[in-house]
Amino acid sequence: MAELLTAAGVFVLLAAASLLSLKYSPRLASRHRSDETNNVVRLVANIFVVMTSLVFGLLINSSKNTYESIDSNVHAYATSLILLDRTLRDVGYVGRDARSHLSDYVTAAIIRPARSEDTARNDKTAENALRSLGAAIEAITPLTAPQTGILAEIRQQYFQIVEQRWKIIEQSEGVIPRPLITMLVAWLTVIFASFGYRAPHNMVVVSTLIISALLISASLYLVLDMDIPFTGIIQISDAPLQRVMQELQGS
């Protein structure tokens, strides 16, 4: 939601800067609309265009890396859950209760709006289910010597899952610094204001400025949305956890 509001604010700001410049630039004194002044304005705008292009490219690359990293971690996390289930099968009957809690946890994780994880810290549904799984594992009493060795492996796998889970949660908060976004928007505002300077006042120009502001703000929204890949329109797929659930139900 915050990303959408940011994009809407950027659109309003850019459109207002360009249209106000277009409206009031003809009212400036002639010395403020000379060719020399126009050249300086365009030169300064070109400097900001280059800087904006570089920063925007860095933001896209940062969001892409964040998305790919979390997607890879979710797949690894799903693999760890499947391996834990397979190991619990090896201990036989004494692992049935833990497997049931594992199924409950995967179900809770899929239902959460954040897809693979309950990244909303005020909702502990999936976290409580995972703790119940840990308690069920601790309650397993090995009946044979081989089961004792397998139980040690199960506990190690469980702690690895807990670690992976928190790693995904911490990564899902985004890495793009807000001051950098603010600076980028300020540069874009200067650029769009320069577009309206000495531009002809007609519907083609007005439509072009509005459409350009809309596309720039939409692009910024997509970058910010991809930086937080458990919300918005660009989300990490829950297919890995769905496959985990199929494995649990198929056994």
DSSP 108-148: HHHHSTTTTS---TT--HHHHHHHHHHHHHHT----SHHHH
Residue 36 placed within a domain: no
Residue 39 lies in a domain: no
pLDDT band at 147 (very low <50, low <70, confident <90, very high): confident
Q: Region 161-178: what's the mean pLDDT?
A: 84
**Residue 122 belongs to a domain:** yes
Q: Please, what is the average pLDDT of the chain? A: 85
243 within some domain: yes
77 found inside a domain: yes
* Spatial separation of the C-alpha atoms in residues 244 and 44, rounded to whole Å: 56
pLDDT tens profile 181-208: 999 999 999 999 988 887 788 899 899 9
Tell whether 124 is covered by a domain. Answer: yes
User: pTM for this structure?
Assistant: 0.78
Q: How far apart are CA 118 and CA 231, in angstroms?
A: 11
Whether 42 shows a pLDDT value over 70: the answer reads yes
- The reply to whether 141 falls in a domain is yes
- What is the distance between the alpha carbons of residues 232 and 192, in angstroms, rounded to a whole number? 27
pLDDT in tens, 214-239: 999 999 999 988 888 887 788 888 88
Domain count, the chain: 1
Distance from C-alpha of 240 to C-alpha of 245, rounded to nearest angstrom: 9
CB neighbour burial string for 171-190, b if at least 16 within 10 angstroms, e if fewer: bbebebeeeebeebbebbbb
In a domain, 104, yes or no: yes
DSSP 8-state assignment for residue 242: H
What is the reported pLDDT for 235? 83
* Distance from C-alpha of 175 to C-alpha of 47, rounded to nearest angstrom: 26
The residue segments making up the domain with residue 151 are 2-28+45-249
